[in-house]
Amino acid sequence: MRDETVARTYAETLFELSERHEGLEAFGRGMDLVVGLLDQEPGFQSFLDTPRIDADAKKDLIRKVFTSELPRQLVNFLLVTIEKRRQRLLRQIAEHFRELVDEREGRAHVDVTVARPLDDVTLDLLVRRLSELIGATAVPRVRVRPQILGGVIVRAGDTIYDGSVRRRLDGMRRQLLRAELPQGATG
């Protein structure tokens, strides 16, 4: 099975656990804590990933570090990932879990590309319009790329809305190249 599929399956299980027990918010904060520790402490990631270290030692560390910080079911979930040798997928599991939570909460992440940074008022207007367009609360990830010249490009899932000046200019160029000159016109 591919890692992506495995991570998604584990995230779905985690999502179901969170709904039955402490709630989406508590499990989300817990997974953020785990992933944050993995990101901030490369030694922790190495410890979990090293096959020479016994799984029981890894589980003991998880219990010591997280038992007082995380819901019991989330700690048990982490222990199962170690037992099944899936701990290297924790970041991906957390990412898929967040996607499931966002879907449940009616949020959709959208990639927004603009030519220059947006002020707060413009960003708020853009979020409102995008939310209306996609039927969910838009959570934008804004990226600045001056080469689009102006306008905005939005990617929401598999759909791309390209309102960039560069695309419009390219369209005009193609139209001009296809246009036929009237008979008798001289240059």
* R_g (Cα) of the chain, nearest Å: 24
> Is pLDDT at 187 greater than 80 in this prediction?
no
pLDDT tens for residues 63-81? 999 999 999 999 999 999 9
Q: Domain total for the chain?
A: 2
How many angstroms separate the most distant Cα atoms in the chain?
88
Residues facing 141 on adjacent strands: 111
Residues 118-176: pLDDT tens digits? 999 999 999 999 999 889 999 999 999 998 888 889 998 888 888 888 888 888 888 88
Same-domain pairing of 113 and 99: no
Question: Do 78 and 115 belong to one domain?
Answer: no
- Both tokens assigned to 20: 């039955």
**Of the candidates 88, 103, 118, which is a domain's last residue?**
103
pLDDT of residue 1: 63
The pTM for the full model equals 0.71
pLDDT surpasses 80 at 186: no
**Do 74 and 113 fall within a single domain?**
no
What are the start-end ranges of the H helices in the chain? 3-20, 24-40, 42-49, 55-66, 72-83, 90-105, 120-134, 165-178
Instruction: Let me know whether 64 and 139 are in one domain.
Output: no
Binning pLDDT at 50, 70 and 90, where does residue 56 land? very high
**pLDDT tens figures, 6-41:** 999 999 999 999 999 878 889 999 999 999 999 999
Spatial CA neighbour of 34 closest among 85, 4, 74: 74
| Alpha carbons 159 and 86: distance in angstroms, whole number | 32
Q: Specify whether 48 is located in the same domain as 74.
A: yes
In-domain check, residue 186: no
177-to-78, 170, 174, 184, 187 alpha-carbon distances in Å:
60, 11, 5, 18, 15
Range of the domain at 149: 107-178
Domain boundary among 103, 120, 153: 103
Residue 153 counted as domain residue: yes
Which 3 state secondary structure label does DSSP give 79?
Answer: helix
Residue 185: the pLDDT is: 59
Instruction: Select from 75, 103, 131 the last residue of a domain.
Output: 103
